[in-house]
A = this chain, B = another copy of it.
């Protein structure tokens, strides 16, 4: 079994209201020195295949078709042993 760890973040330059809200929240409870906050998703998929090349190509396709919105988001992933 393999595990794919996919990270989906808003592209640089796209306003991130959730990140801004988290930053405001942290500042409101006393944290200082925060330059910026960006909030994205981490999606962990366990895959039944043992073939890393197959997993890699399959996860790329999942990201392109469903897990990310290529207009505003970018993704990256790594494949590890589950």
Q: Report yes or no: B62 in contact with A1, Cβ–Cβ below 8 A.
A: no
Name the residue on B nearest A3 (C-beta).
Answer: B35
Known: A42-B39, A46-B36. A31 touches B1 (CB 8 A): no
The answer, among B31, B36, B43, B47, for a CB contact under 8 Å with A62, is B31
A25 at the interface (CB under 8 A from B): yes
The answer, among B1, B23, B26, B37, for a CB contact under 8 Å with A35, is B1
Name the residue on B nearest A25 (C-beta).
Answer: B66
Q: Report yes or no: B39 in contact with A43, Cβ–Cβ below 8 A.
A: yes
Name the residue on B nearest A44 (C-beta).
Answer: B38
In the bound complex, how far is the Cα of B44 from the Cα of A67, in angstroms? 19
